[in-house]
Structure 1
Amino acid sequence: MSISDRLPDYPVNSDFVRKLKSALEGGDEARLRDLICADVRHVDAVIELANDDWMKDPSAPLPPGVLVGLWTLEYKRELTTPLCIAAAQGHTACVRHLLGRGADPDASPGGRGALHEACLGGHTACARLLLQHRADPDLLSAEGLAPLHLCRTAASLGCAQALLEHGASVQLEGGAGRDTPLHVAAQRCLDEHARLYLHHGARVDARNGRGETALSAACGAARRPDEHARCLRLCALLLRRGAAADARDEDERSPLHKACGHARPSLARLLLRHGADAHALDYGGASPLARVLQTAACAPEAEPQLTVQELLNHGSPTVWPDAFPKVLKSCAVVPAVIEVLFNSYPQLRVSESWKEVIPEEVFQMHQAFYRSLFALAHTPRCLQHLCRCAIRKSFGRKCFSLVPLLPLPETLQNYLLLEPEGILH
């Protein structure tokens, strides 16, 4: 019988567990220390913190995990040990006390050991104590995750350093996604973790279960604005260490597809200047430009026109003219995107019927721009615009690098690079 199948020493309805939960919920460190260091009968006691086995009480309402008809039952039981609780809470003195009494550092009745818990909480001192008492640095949890996979916050950098000093493998694949520690760092924008793993020999282009490299994972994760700078540093680090800018995942999406899907111009620029292919198509036939156009209306605050500019200035094909009304319909709320895209054509026939796809409130909000657009319905583009298109065609995918070398005022260079002005001429 496995440890998780045996009766716990302290079941969920016991007086001890009620006191323990009260101390945890109230943040009562002194009471918690007394309970786990003095009141338990033995150091490796199994404690049951939760048990939602509704089968024990047939009159109980079915939990959401039960799909009536399909009979998919989910039974959640949370088992732990005093050492796991102490490590999860960062109580170094308790961890030292329990280890001194012979607690097993690798006991994991609930699926995670004390070292996993210490790393999840970013408790470096606890992690070092456990490792000094021969905790297995590569112990796998019930989900197949090693402690390094649980170093998921900036505070866990010390834990990651301690694990590597004690022989943890930086190449281990973990969990259902088969992520390496470098993938985990990339997904969470932990640039210092990534630097540490690369220093210890992590393979920069290792693939996870979805065919993603760390660079691809970093570009595909949604970011808060305050994380963008860290993500950019991490991606620049990976590229300097030899990451392939065009590595495709199982859906044939490149890092550029993913960066454009989140409308992140600085990241798109970084990838493009490291050779990412602006022409690339994924399995669904979408280009990076299509990805940012799909996102534009959902994230106008990300200034998607800047990403569109980067792509077009690196030689991305523009939208097929007949598809322009669809773009107008989906991106109408971001007229700067329409302007940049419209100016990438030497001449595009404007139809009065396009007005029908623009919501009235959007038209009224951006009247100046849309009036200038429909004023071109029966008028050819100006000579200056045609000259711009001729120069851009000649420079091709090197527009971004050649235009700044031209002996022209900055305003004209910006014009050549499709900088939006708010109206069309």
Structure 2
Amino acid sequence: MGELPGPVTEKLQISPKLDLEHPLTAHAPATKYYTALVTGDLQSLEVLTDRYYQDVNLVFEISKDDPMPGDLTRPRSLVPAGLWSLEYKRELSTPLCLAARRGHAAVLRHLLRRRADPDLAPGGRGPLHEACLGAHTDCAALLLQHRADPNLRSDQGLAPLHLCTTRDSLGCAKLLLRHGATVNLQSEDRGETALHVAARHCLCDHAWLYLRHGAHVDALSTQEETALNILCGQAPGTEGCLQLCRLLAAHGAEVDARDEARRSPLHKACGAANAGLARFLLQHGADVNAIDYNGMSPLGCVLQGAAFKRDLRPHVVVQQLLNHGSQKIWPPAFVKVLKSCAAVPEVVEVLFNSYSQIPISKKWAEAVPEEVLQQHQLFYQSLFRLAGTVRCLQHLCRSAIRNKLGSKCHCLIPLLPVPKPLRDYLLLEPEGVVL
């Protein structure tokens, strides 16, 4: 490597006033400095910076392979700003980044008062990124007061607002917007805005904040996903997802927005076996028979992943789709349903009962693994016993009623003056056997 320029070289020089016998600086001044930063030892830090002139803008090269006691990483060397290492498991950091990452506000204030650069980011993320990632609101406030750039991008093309990914980071998000953060700024890699990020993490309060500050509800990422597209791909049970779905819809989100693969939010919700979101989308007019570029419908999406999501009760999504008028599987292809969904007999039952009559072939029994047959013996015995027979009169009456009501089954059947068990039967509630 050639000779470094003068101002950069000075950062590598040890101050002539450094006392190598002092307990804080003897043997490994960089380690002592680093330890004081990551532990929040303000008293030691004041001595190191004020008496022994440790540079508040020093850049640490840190190796994660050589942990210090207390799960700290050891700084291997000091390098000038603007240089970076190609070594494996090495990273560059600054005093401000180290303090902000761990939420040491007092240390951060000390460094900023000694003119530490709030935007220095040799490791890819700046101090403000670190504060937002750790949801350290007090640290973010200090950095912004010292003119940290609220729109500074990391090496991954992310602004601090993109790193507000937990509920505790709401205070950071508010501060960023108050200090001029661009709410619709897109990340460089995925082209996602802060609203996309809030949707990915089901952060309803964040989304409400962004929408109040002018976030575009249907902004598209590089994969042509809206915030609603991203939200509907999240697993069921994630707190706040349904509430956020309602919020986005209330602000005019397109319920049938398609991504680059022509998948709609309903495709995503069904693929995730998210019955709550699927129900909401269907109630708000989502196209139950939308087809993506792979020829997959929402029903196909839930059937495709049902075997891996049995705990999420995917049959409930299948019921909802069929009760809203979803087209059924082509009868000769039903054997494929058995091959993929045999371990979830509730799905097989709901789909089988949506037909008035469907021929059962020998291939059906061959498609079900022996261990599944044993595990769900009662159901599959009742199913295969129907081969070559006509369904019972009760089922045929159900089919006639459902055919008459069509895509209105979901809203008209609950209005019928009949007992609840009969309404459930008409809505294809599984019973464990078929007749």
Residue aligning to 1:30: 41
Residue aligning to 2:419: 409
Q: Give 1 or 2 for the bigger CA radius of gyration.
A: 2
Deviation sequence 1:384-415 (CA, Å, 0-9, x none): 21121122122221111111111111111111
1:350 has 2:360 as partner? yes
1:420 has 2:430 as partner? yes
Deviation sequence 1:239-285 (CA, Å, 0-9, x none): 11111111000000111111111111111101111111110111100
Query: Partners in 2 of 1:75 and 1:216 — Cα distance?
Result: 36
How far did residue 20 of structure 1 move?
A: 5.4
Query: Partners in 1 of 2:4 and 2:199 — Cα distance?
Result: 36
Residue aligning to 2:137: 124
Amino acid at match of 1:374: F
- The 5-angstrom pairing of residues 170-181 of structure 1 reads 170-181=183-194
Residue aligning to 1:168: 181
TM-score (norm 1): 0.87
Residue aligning to 2:261: 251
Query: Partners in 2 of 1:365 and 1:285 — Cα distance?
Result: 33
The answer for unaligned runs of 5 or more in structure 2 is: 15-26, 66-85
Residue aligning to 1:321: 331
1:290 pairs with one of 300, 318, 322: 300
Does the 8 Å CA contact 1:106/1:135 hold for their aligned counterparts? yes
Residue aligning to 2:70: none
Query: Partners in 1 of 2:64 and 2:231 — Cα distance?
Result: 37
Query: Partners in 2 of 1:28 and 1:392 — Cα distance?
Result: 67
Q: Larger deviation: 94-103 or 14-23? A: 14-23
The answer for unaligned runs of 5 or more in structure 1 is: 53-72
Secondary structure at 1:79's aligned position in 2?
A: strand
Query: Partners in 1 of 2:133 and 2:164 — Cα distance?
Result: 6
Query: Partners in 1 of 2:294 and 2:260 — Cα distance?
Result: 12
- The 5-angstrom pairing of residues 73-84 of structure 1 reads 77-84=90-97
RMSD over aligned CA atoms reads: 2.5
- The 5-angstrom pairing of residues 34-49 of structure 1 reads 34=45, 41-49=54-62
Instruction: Give the number of aligned pairs.
Output: 397
TM-score (norm 2): 0.85
Residue aligning to 2:195: 182
Query: Partners in 2 of 1:74 and 1:246 — Cα distance?
Result: 47
Residue aligning to 2:240: 230
Amino acid at match of 1:391: I
How far did residue 149 of structure 1 move?
A: 0.6
Does the 8 Å CA contact 2:42/2:106 hold for their aligned counterparts? no
Amino acid at match of 1:143: Q
How far did residue 126 of structure 1 move?
A: 0.7
Distance 1:358 1:151, change over 3 A: same
Amino acid at match of 1:339: E
Q: Larger deviation: 28-37 or 318-327? A: 28-37
Q: Tell me the percent identity.
A: 58
- The 5-angstrom pairing of residues 90-129 of structure 1 reads 90-129=103-142
How far did residue 31 of structure 1 move?
A: 7.3
Residue aligning to 2:389: 379
Amino acid at match of 1:180: T
Does the 8 Å CA contact 2:323/2:409 hold for their aligned counterparts? yes
Distance 1:332 1:115, change over 3 A: same
